[in-house]
Amino acid sequence: MRRWSGKGLGLAGRVGLAAVALLLSRAVVHAQSVDANEPIAERGRYLAVAADCAACHTAPGGGKPFAGGYGIASPLGAIYSTNITPSRDFGIGTYSEAQFGRALREGIRGDGAHLYPAMPYTSYTKLTDADVHALYVYFMTDVKPVEAPARRTVLPFPYNIRATMAVWNALFLDDRRFEPESGKSVAVNRGHYLAYALAHCDTCHTPRNVMMAEMGGRALGGASLSSWYAPNITSDPKSGLGGWSDDDLARYLKTGDVPGKAQAGGPMAEAVEHSLQYLNDDDIRAIVAYIKQVPAIADAADKAPRDTYGKPSDREAAYRGLDARALVRGERLFTGECAACHRPTGTGSPDGYYPQLFHNTAVGAARPDNLISTILMGVRREVGGHTVYMPGFGSGSYVDSLSDQDIADISTYVEQQFGNPAVRVSAEEVTLIRTGGPKPLIARLGAFAVPGMIAGVLMLAGAALLVLRRVGKKP
């Protein structure tokens, strides 16, 4: 089982586009355009890639396509993806198109049971009828049936009662199709549809409330995901991506790598590897157009854009040949563990395979989560048939297994020299990231707190929905 994935927020983390959907669905209804000449199954295949179905429904390390069995780490236990090949016995071979659509958009299986929201149906609910049809045709005709069951998901009580999901859905699932906004360009609307109904960017980048529903008021404003942090990707020039050029954003989505600026790791590397690299240029440009106009969300802690911090180091000449004690611990560890690739100067390699550390978004961020996670777990990203790989330095590392204190000292040194000098990292922070990152409240409270919480939230939600409806009615 792999720890986290872009789709692996866990039971609680999958719920609810309701608020966002309400806020964003105030526009005129347009059907998505469909090229009549394009074979429907082929279009379905492309949509399945854009929606990144395979990332969860194909087990890593040689699993058969769409046969399921990928263990998605959740705070409540592993949720195993299902066999969605057209096998009649083990997959979705007996599904009607209506049943298929209901699973995608409402999280309800063919047999009527509720899916856990590890399946992002709160995002897929925005899919147009035409796209659901194309996906159905693709899965039924082009995907090879795999006649084998996927591993069953067994969560502890009360999460093993799937019917509880009905309550969640009532609160947080806005079962409505995407509606383009008037006054926005075709590209922005297309990008909006791609970003939400298919790529489900919000799933990771929008923070969540105590019931793990996305906070619509902070859409794409940055959120913690287990060990990683999905940064603010709104148009704010300091906290978000406002300062990025369209070309850099497009390159990032397509390759996961903008040399001298940003590299995708963790779940974003998976999203690029399995999905985004295969999108056509028009769709990439559409997502860029949409992202660039997402309302800015600023965080006062961000004094400058993430990619403007730091400078190269000229220290090596001063310490080489001296006793190691001449160096502070973090620098000593950095030169032994990191500098062979990233160079003592922090400039990385000329071809960019080993990234530059200064002016680097992961290093310059106000939170060190992604720097720590990168050191612990490394980076693996296969794009265009070529693998970019940095080994992790966690337990069982092929290079060196570092302690939490080691990683804290290296991170603090890297932040001071190459990144955000306001950031200092403690061993406790590294321990937290190593053990799966900050836990959402619902997981920390434990099973017995949940029924009470649901009751409380039912009341709160009633009030919230009233408020949101009023917001929705504004012109």
Q: Which of 96, 147, 247, 389 binds other proteins (CB under 8 A)?
A: 389
Q: Which of 213, 258, 333, 372 binds other proteins (CB under 8 A)?
A: 333
For 149, the token pair is 């069951």
Query: Closest approach of Cβ 389 to other proteins, in Å?
Result: 4
Closest CA to 43 of 135, 148, 115, 121: 135
Q: Which of 341, 432, 445, 465 binds other proteins (CB under 8 A)?
A: 341
Residue 321 is a binding residue for other proteins (CB under 8 A) = yes
Closest CA to 56 of 67, 42, 47, 45: 67
The C-alpha atoms of residue 56 and residue 156 are separated, in whole angstroms, by 22
Query: With respect to other proteins, which residue has the nearer C-beta, 62 or 112?
Result: 62
- Give phi and psi for 446, each to the nearest 5: 90, 170
Binding flags for other proteins, 223-262, as an x/- string (CB under 8 A) = ----------------------------------------
For 265, the token pair is 């790791």
Q: Is 205 part of any known ligand binding site? A: yes
Amino acid at 417: Q
Segment near other proteins (CB under 8 A); pick from 214-222, 277-285, 330-338, 423-431: 330-338
For 469, the token pair is 């409806």
Query: Closest approach of Cβ 325 to other proteins, in Å?
Result: 12
Residue 390 is a binding residue for other proteins (CB under 8 A) = yes
288 dihedral zone (left: phi>0; alpha: psi -120 to 50; beta): alpha
How far CA 349 is from CA of 229, 257, 352, 383, in Å, comes to 26, 14, 5, 19
For 90, the token pair is 């083990």
For 244, the token pair is 């990025």
Query: Closest approach of Cβ 183 to other proteins, in Å?
Result: 48
Q: Residues in the chain, how many?
A: 475
Segment near other proteins (CB under 8 A); pick from 90-98, 187-195, 348-356, 366-374: 348-356
Query: With respect to other proteins, which residue has the nearer C-beta, 32 or 403?
Result: 403
Q: How far is CA 293 from the centre of its chain?
A: 20
Alpha helices in 243-338 (DSSP H): 246-255, 266-274, 281-292, 316-319, 329-337
For 470, the token pair is 């009023």
Segment near other proteins (CB under 8 A); pick from 144-152, 209-217, 315-323, 366-374: 315-323
DSSP string, 2-17: -S--TT---TGGG---
Binding flags for other proteins, 392-431, as an x/- string (CB under 8 A) = x---xxxxxx------------------------------
Binding flags for other proteins, 96-135, as an x/- string (CB under 8 A) = ----------------------------------------
Q: Which of 209, 335, 370, 412 binds other proteins (CB under 8 A)?
A: 335
Segment near other proteins (CB under 8 A); pick from 98-106, 157-165, 329-337, 450-458: 329-337
Residue 59 is a binding residue for other proteins (CB under 8 A) = no
The C-alpha atoms of residue 69 and residue 9 are separated, in whole angstroms, by 16
Contact 158, 59 (CB under 8 A): no
Q: Is 359 part of any known ligand binding site? A: no
Query: Closest approach of Cβ 205 to other proteins, in Å?
Result: 28
Residue 300 is a binding residue for other proteins (CB under 8 A) = no
Q: Is 192 part of any known ligand binding site? A: no
Q: Which of 322, 325, 459, 475 binds other proteins (CB under 8 A)?
A: 322
For 461, the token pair is 């939600």
DSSP string, 70-88: -EE--TTS-EEPP--SS-T
CA atoms within 13 A on the CB side of 116: 26
Amino acid at 71: G
CA atoms within 13 A on the CB side of 36: 0
**Which residues, 6+ apart, have CB-to-CB distance to 3 below 8 Å?**
73, 226, 227, 377, 436
Contact 53, 84 (CB under 8 A): yes
Query: With respect to other proteins, which residue has the nearer C-beta, 315 or 332?
Result: 332
Query: With respect to other proteins, which residue has the nearer C-beta, 283 or 337?
Result: 337
Query: Closest approach of Cβ 150 to other proteins, in Å?
Result: 25
**Which residues, 6+ apart, have CB-to-CB distance to 405 below 8 Å?**
427, 430
Segment near other proteins (CB under 8 A); pick from 167-175, 335-343, 454-462, 467-475: 335-343
Q: Restricting to residues 368-387, which ones interact with other proteins according to CB under 8 A? A: 380, 387
Residue 315 is a binding residue for other proteins (CB under 8 A) = no
Segment near other proteins (CB under 8 A); pick from 36-44, 241-249, 263-271, 321-329: 321-329
Which residues are at the interface with other proteins (CB under 8 A)?
Answer: 320-322, 324, 332-333, 335-337, 340-341, 349, 353-354, 380, 387, 389-392, 396-401
Per the annotation, binding residues are 53, 56-57, 201, 204-205, 338, 341-342
Per the annotation, binding residues for heme c are 53, 56-57, 201, 204-205, 338, 341-342
